[in-house]
Amino acid sequence: MGTEEKVRMRRLGWAGVEIECAGETLLIDYVQDISQLAMMRNPAERFPASSKPGAASVALLTHLHNDHADPGALNVALSKGAPVFRPIAAMGNDADLALTKHAELEFNKYKLRTEIVREWEERKVGPFRIFSVPAVDGFGDPQLSWVVECGGFRIIHAGDTLYHGLWWRIFHRFGPFNVGFLPINAPIVDFPPLRPMSSIEAVMTPEQAAVAANILKTDFVVPIHYHTMHNPPIYMETSNPVERLSASLTNLKTGIMVKEPGDWFELW
């Protein structure tokens, strides 16, 4: 990966992440407006804005649910002509498109340079080498996880994926990882377009995230996708996700870094 240099990064609330390297910034699942999900949101949760409005070099979307894709926010955060890498569009009837329709309409509204990326593809933007890897959405919509290399470090961001059997292939291709941004809130969800409802969690459990981190040989997990949404019976987050993740990592070679929205940290 080359000579190491300082890389700064921070959580931006929920699943949002900002990475700064060599004076340029990359955004993943950056959102500011989740009014579509207001009935589930914890009003105390912060969604910090990008650190350099109008100057971010690239944005990555794991999928197009409203809590991961905000074209209006990207329109403000990105430099003119900066690419937005996204998965393929959902297919199906109105119920199948219910959770991605808003973001798709918003992308049509703003003149963003979007590009569809499929699994196992590579892009290069400034100091960032970007790789798309498989993920499995809990609701059947297309999803990717993202691997980012910069400054001699390798990071993986797993959106809100379920546990799946492709962790080994991701490791064989790109591992080990310095940091893994992994979802942990394992909600049980009852949305009208998805009925009869499933009693299976729609996102990884904390214990599954620990197993994934171990397979990926991740130095540290930064937990994401927890505590912002909880409104039974519509959306029921699992109990004590951070504590359970920490306990599950105890006997593994992976540490945990719990970061509040807006907190910067550095890799050297």
Residue 103 lies in a domain: yes
Residue 2 lies in a domain: no
- Classify residue 76 as exposed, middle or buried by CB count within 10 Å of its CB (0-12, 13-18, 19+): middle
Task: Read off the pLDDT of residues 224-259 as tens digits, 9 standing for 90 and up.
Answer: 999 999 899 999 999 999 999 999 999 999 999 999
pLDDT at residue 4 in the model: 67
Domain membership of residue 130 as a residue range: 7-267
Which tokens belong to 233?
A: 């019976």
* pLDDT range class, residue 46, cuts 50, 70, 90: confident
Pairing mode, strands 122-125 and 128-134 = antiparallel
Q: DSSP string spanning 2-71?
A: -S---EEEEE-STT-EEEEETTEEEEES--S--GGGTTTB-TT---PPPSSTT-B-EEE-S--STTT--H
CATH number of the domain bearing residue 77: 3.60.15.10
Residue 72 lies in a domain: yes
Question: pTM for the complete prediction?
Answer: 0.97
State the number of CA atoms in the 13 A half-sphere of 126 facing the CB. Answer: 18
Supply the mean pLDDT for the chain.
95
Q: How many domains does the chain have?
A: 1
pLDDT at residue 125 in the model: 98
Q: Evaluate if residue 1 carries a pLDDT over 60.
A: no
Task: Read off the pLDDT of residues 57-71 as tens digits, 9 standing for 90 and up.
Answer: 999 999 999 999 999
Task: Read off the pLDDT of residues 80-118 as tens digits, 9 standing for 90 and up.
Answer: 999 999 999 999 999 999 999 999 999 999 989 999 999
